[in-house]
Amino acid sequence: MKGVLPTIAIIGRPNVGKSSLFNLLLNERKSIVDEMEGVTRDINIGEFKTPFGRYFRIYDTAGYLEKGDQFNKLVQEKVKDAVEYADLILFMVDGREYHPIDEDLGRFLRRQEKPVLVVANKLDHKKLEDDLYDFYHLGFDDIIPFSVIHKRGLSGLYERLEDLFPENSGEEKVSDEVCVAIVGRPNVGKSMLVNTLLGYERSIVSEVPGTTRDSLDDLFLWKGRKVRLIDTAGLRRQSRVEDDIEYYSAVRTAQAIERADVVVQLLDVAEPVSHQDKHISETVIDKGRSLIFAFNKWDLLGLDEDGEENYRRMQELRKKILDEYPTFDYIPLEFISAKDAYKVNRLMELVFTVHESYHKRVPTPELNDWLKSEIRETDLDKPKSNLKIYYATQPLAAPPKFIIFINNFDHVRKDFPRFMEKRIREKFGFSGVPIRMFFKPKERDKKKKW
- Specify if 448 maps to a domain: no
pLDDT in tens, the chain (450 residues): 334 578 899 999 888 999 899 999 988 655 544 444 444 445 677 788 898 888 888 888 876 655 554 445 555 676 777 788 789 999 999 999 999 999 988 998 999 889 999 999 999 988 888 778 889 889 998 999 999 999 999 999 999 998 898 765 444 443 468 999 999 888 899 889 988 998 865 544 444 444 444 445 777 888 888 888 876 644 444 444 445 445 455 666 677 787 889 999 999 999 988 888 898 899 999 999 999 999 999 999 988 888 899 999 999 999 988 888 888 999 999 999 999 999 999 999 999 999 999 999 999 999 999 998 887 544 544 545 688 898 999 988 999 999 999 998 888 888 899 999 999 999 999 999 999 999 998 765 433 333
Cα 91 to chain centroid distance, Å, stands at 27
Do 108 and 157 lie in a common domain?
yes
Q: Inter-axis angle of helices 190-198 and 344-358, to 10 degrees? A: 90
Please give the Cα distance from 127 to 205 (Å, whole number).
44
Do 74 and 223 lie in a common domain?
no
226-251: burial string, b at 16+ Cβ within 10 Å, e else? ebbbbbbbbbbeeeebeeebbebbbe
Mention every residue, 6+ apart, whose C-beta is less than 8 A from residue 186.
209, 210, 233, 234, 236
> Is 351:180 a contact under the CB 8 Å cutoff?
yes
> Is 212:41 a contact under the CB 8 Å cutoff?
yes
Closest by Cα among 414, 383, 420, 384 to 402: 420
Q: What is the pLDDT of residue 443?
A: 60
Please give the Cα distance from 362 to 356 (Å, whole number).
12
- Specify if 108 maps to a domain: yes
Do 64 and 126 lie in a common domain?
yes
Residues in the chain: 450
Q: What is the largest CA-CA distance in the chain?
A: 91
Please give the Cα distance from 383 to 390 (Å, whole number).
17
Do 261 and 315 lie in a common domain?
yes
Task: State the DSSP code for 125.
Answer: S
Q: What is the pLDDT of residue 39?
A: 40
- Specify if 447 maps to a domain: no
Query: Cα–Cα distances in Å, from 436 out to 35, 212, 304, 404, 430?
Result: 43, 33, 41, 11, 12
Does the N-terminal peptide bond of residue 417 adopt cis geometry, omega within 30 degrees of 0? no
> Is 260:289 a contact under the CB 8 Å cutoff?
yes
Cα 327 to chain centroid distance, Å, stands at 25
Q: What is the pLDDT of residue 421?
A: 94
- Specify if 449 maps to a domain: no
pLDDT (tens digit, 9 = 90+) per residue, 378-425? 454 454 568 889 899 998 899 999 999 999 888 888 889 999 999 999
Do 243 and 317 lie in a common domain?
yes
Please give the Cα distance from 389 to 441 (Å, whole number).
9
Closest by Cα among 144, 136, 87, 92 to 112: 87
Calculate the CA dihedral of residues 232, 259, 251, 275 and round it to 10 degrees. -70
Do 341 and 371 lie in a common domain?
no
Instruction: Show which of 136, 164, 192 is a domain's final residue.
Output: 164
Instruction: Show which of 303, 337, 358 is a domain's final residue.
Output: 358
* Domain at 418, CATH number: 3.30.300.20
For residue 245, give the 3-state DSSP assignment: helix
315: number of CA atoms within 13 Å, CB side? 6
Do 203 and 319 lie in a common domain?
yes
Please give the Cα distance from 22 to 9 (Å, whole number).
10
* End-to-end Cα, the chain, rounded Å: 60
- Specify if 171 maps to a domain: no
Closest by Cα among 255, 258, 257, 126 to 184: 257
Do 184 and 299 lie in a common domain?
yes
Do 369 and 303 lie in a common domain?
no
Do 384 and 316 lie in a common domain?
no
pLDDT (tens digit, 9 = 90+) per residue, 332-346? 999 999 999 999 999
* Helix or strand run (H / E) with residue 227: strand 225-231
Please give the Cα distance from 20 to 28 (Å, whole number).
10
Q: What is the number of domains present in the chain? A: 3
Do 118 and 255 lie in a common domain?
no
How much of the chain is in helix, strand and coil states, percent to nearest 5?
Answer: 40, 20, 40
Closest by Cα among 433, 448, 390, 389 to 413: 389
pTM of this prediction exceeds 0.75: no
54: number of CA atoms within 13 Å, CB side? 22
Query: Cα–Cα distances in Å, from 129 out to 3, 47, 250?
Result: 36, 30, 38
Please give the Cα distance from 275 to 296 (Å, whole number).
18
Please give the Cα distance from 110 to 139 (Å, whole number).
8
* Domain at 336, CATH number: 3.40.50.300
Please give the Cα distance from 430 to 425 (Å, whole number).
6
For residue 134, give the 3-state DSSP assignment: helix
- Specify if 1 maps to a domain: no
The one-letter amino acid code at 200 reads Y
The whole domain housing 54 covers: 7-164
